[in-house]
């Protein structure tokens, strides 16, 4: 048996769904979470520089949309360890044929899916259950001066969040709407 994850491309070039296999017996299970050699092929092309763990307590709560500008742009792999979320990535890459398009995936502890998000994408999610825990692997450490954000409710993005929004931080609520002259993030 191979413990190699499967990955599937999405309609947005570079954005990949990673499916982690799970092997079970009477003792429990094993699932390889990260292997640099195999995930490099899927697009995680740098060492892990930072790992973050989050808890979102309330079903319907929304977080995002966040990104890091160059030279601190990052590849990110997002996984749900408890609960279920609707995870969204938005293509902000200047010149991309899918510029300003978004893709969403349900990530859960049960489905063992991760979203591998390339540089130049904004990321956010909505909790579909209470007490959702996410684990993020980042290819670059957080750099406050390089932080960028888009408003998750921006009509220009038209993200179809599956639930009524029950919680949004003041910071995320006040992220700017995209300027009509926004040309995207350059590498």
Cβ–Cβ under 8 Å, residues 120 and 92: yes
The answer to whether residue 179 sits within a structural domain is no
Percent of the chain with pLDDT over 70: 98
pLDDT digit string, tens, across residues 63-87: 999 999 999 999 999 999 999 999 9
Q: What is the CATH number for 22?
A: 2.60.120.10
The answer to whether residue 32 sits within a structural domain is yes
The answer to whether residue 186 sits within a structural domain is no
Is 66 noted as a catalytic residue in this protein? yes
Range of the domain at 103: 6-173
The answer to whether residue 1 sits within a structural domain is no
Is 123 noted as a catalytic residue in this protein? no
pTM: 0.93
Cα 45 from Cα 86, distance rounded (Å):
25
Q: How many domains does the chain have?
A: 1
Mean per-residue pLDDT pooled into runs of 10, the chain (187 residues)? 77 93 86 82 91 97 96 97 98 97 97 96 98 97 95 97 96 94 89
The answer to whether residue 104 sits within a structural domain is yes
| Identified catalytic residue from 66, 72, 123, 138 | 66
The answer to whether residue 145 sits within a structural domain is yes
pLDDT digit string, tens, across residues 36-72: 888 888 888 999 999 999 999 999 999 999 999 999 9
The answer to whether residue 84 sits within a structural domain is yes
Cα 72 from Cα 182, distance rounded (Å):
19
The answer to whether residue 83 sits within a structural domain is yes
| Identified catalytic residue from 72, 103, 123, 136 | 136
Cα distance between the two ends of the chain: 39
For residue 166, the Cα-to-chain-centroid distance in whole angstroms is 20
């Amino acid at each position: 048996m191979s413990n190699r994850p499967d990955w599937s491309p999405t309609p947005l070039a570079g954005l990949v769904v990673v499916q982690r296999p799970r092997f079970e017996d009477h003792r429990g299970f094993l699932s390889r979470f990260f292997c640099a050699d195999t995930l490099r092929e899927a697009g995680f092309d740098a060492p892990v520089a930072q790992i973050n763990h989050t808890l979102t307590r309330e079903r319907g709560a929304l977080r995002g949309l966040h990104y890091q500008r160059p030279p601190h742009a990052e590849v990110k792999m997002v996984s749900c360890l408890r609960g279920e979320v609707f995870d969204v990535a938005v293509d902000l890459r200047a010149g991309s044929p899918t510029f300003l398009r978004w893709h969403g995936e349900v990530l859960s502890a049960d489905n063992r899916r991760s979203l591998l998000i390339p540089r130049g994408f904004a990321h956010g999610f909505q909790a579909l259950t209470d007490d959702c825990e996410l684990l993020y692997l980042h290819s670059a450490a957080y750099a406050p001066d390089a932080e960028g954000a888009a408003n998750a409710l921006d009509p220009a993005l038209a993200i179809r969040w599956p639930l009524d929004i029950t919680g949004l931080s003041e910071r995320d609520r006040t992220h700017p709407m995209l300027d009509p002259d926004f040309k995207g993030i350059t590498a």
